[in-house]
A = this chain, B = another copy of it.
Amino acid sequence: MNLKQLSELLGLSQTTVSRALNGYPEVNETTRERVLQAVKETGYRPNKAAQRLATGKAGSIGLVMPTAPGHQSDVHFGEFLAGLGEEAVRHDFHFVIMPADPDDEVAALRRLAISGNVDALFVAYMRGHDPRLAMLKSLSMPYVVHGRSFGSEPDYPYLDIDNEGAFYDATRLLLQLGHTRFALMNGPMHLDFAIRRKNGVISALAERGLTLEEGCMSHALMTDEQGLLAMEHFLQLPERPTAILCSSTVLALGAIRAVNQAGLRLGEDISLIAHDDVLPLLKPESFSVPLTTTRSSLRAAGVRIAQRLIGTVKQAGPFPDQELWKTELIVRASTGPVPQT
């Protein structure tokens, strides 16, 4: 069933039916109701591809999903997507997801943009000096970046959390508790948030004249396995750190297993603060020793970005171009005063 058939069935022109459906004023109310009634009976739905071709809009936001054989799927991605979806469903928007090899993200993003399949773009997994920014700017299509790109002029629309502030505050807390030997379990080095978190730690330490040794820093995929490995490494250092900063509760999961296996007590022998993306899977308060965390909901960020993106496409009011969310520092049991030795 298409517009033509529907209009013939009603004895009207396609024009009128189209107008009736899209809420234009110049159509008689009785006619409009007849049309609506017929739609209900026939189950007619406009063809989105045709609509898009005619209008240039189709109610969709595009994103690139990094994937490859051997490429680990990322819980954070799924959680963020849930947030985007939660908002999108309210506006009858959908997503076009282009899977792409992580090495091919720039090209994939361009393909997606000029495919004419999407109205707006969402970009994540930002890196330092991210090459996608220049491309996006040249595109004349709305987009919002999740995160920022360290080293690039911040003149693009983004939503980010204050990663540096979060880890600065967390480090300060541990310093106040008397800790002096720190370690940082971070995400992959090239990612923007990892850079900023590291800076946060370093600058808090610097205020006390402390530094973060190279051996006390790990950059790795944020899986529990990597958490285990990194922590095992830290624990066998001659000057074993007593304070651990951790970029994800997923890493913390493995880290804590290593702590337990070493017969150490979390919150006493060793203190740990993790960043909590509020993954439903891993609640810091339900760890066996509840985790002290810096918290910011990834899902909430997804909702907000979807709002901005959809709002821009629908031309509904202006939106702030740049948002920086503060994180909360929530103290639980995994942090305690430095152990006396």
In the complex, what residues of B have CB within 8 A of residue A254's CB? 286
In the complex, what residues of B have CB within 8 A of residue A169's CB? none
The docked-state distance in angstroms from the alpha carbon of A250 to that of B282 is: 9
Residues in A104-126 with C-beta less than 8 Å from chain B: 110-112, 114-117
Q: Mark A64-84, 1 if CB is under 8 A from B, else 0.
A: 010111011111011101101
Q: Mark A227-266, 1 if CB is under 8 A from B, else 0.
A: 0100000000000000000000010001001001100000
Task: Tell me if A130 is interfacial: C-beta within 8 Å of chain B.
Answer: no
Stretch at the interface among A11-19, A86-94, A174-182, A326-334: A86-94
Task: Tell me if A283 is interfacial: C-beta within 8 Å of chain B.
Answer: yes
Q: Which of A49, A50, A77 has the most CB of B within 10 A?
A: A49
In the complex, what residues of B have CB within 8 A of residue A283's CB? 224-225
Tell me if A257 and B286 are in contact (CB < 8 A). yes
In the complex, what residues of B have CB within 8 A of residue A84's CB? 99
* Copies of this protein in the complex: 2
The docked-state distance in angstroms from the alpha carbon of A101 to that of B75 is: 21
Tell me if B223 and A116 are in contact (CB < 8 A). no
The docked-state distance in angstroms from the alpha carbon of A88 to that of B260 is: 42
The docked-state distance in angstroms from the alpha carbon of A288 to that of B257 is: 7
Residues in A259-316 with C-beta less than 8 Å from chain B: 260-261, 280-283, 286-288, 299
Q: Which of B78, B225, B260 contacts A81 (CB 8 A)?
A: B78
Task: Tell me if A95 is interfacial: C-beta within 8 Å of chain B.
Answer: yes
Nearest neighbor of A97 in chain B, beta-carbon distance: B95
Q: Mark A152-177, 1 if CB is under 8 A from B, else 0.
A: 00000000000000000000000000
Given the interface contacts A67-B85, A99-B89, does A75 sit within 8 Å of B281 by beta carbon? yes
Given the interface contacts A254-B286, A281-B224, does A94 sit within 8 Å of B96 by beta carbon? yes
The docked-state distance in angstroms from the alpha carbon of A116 to that of B261 is: 55
Task: Tell me if A98 is interfacial: C-beta within 8 Å of chain B.
Answer: yes
Given the interface contacts A225-B286, A288-B261, does A115 sit within 8 Å of B78 by beta carbon? no
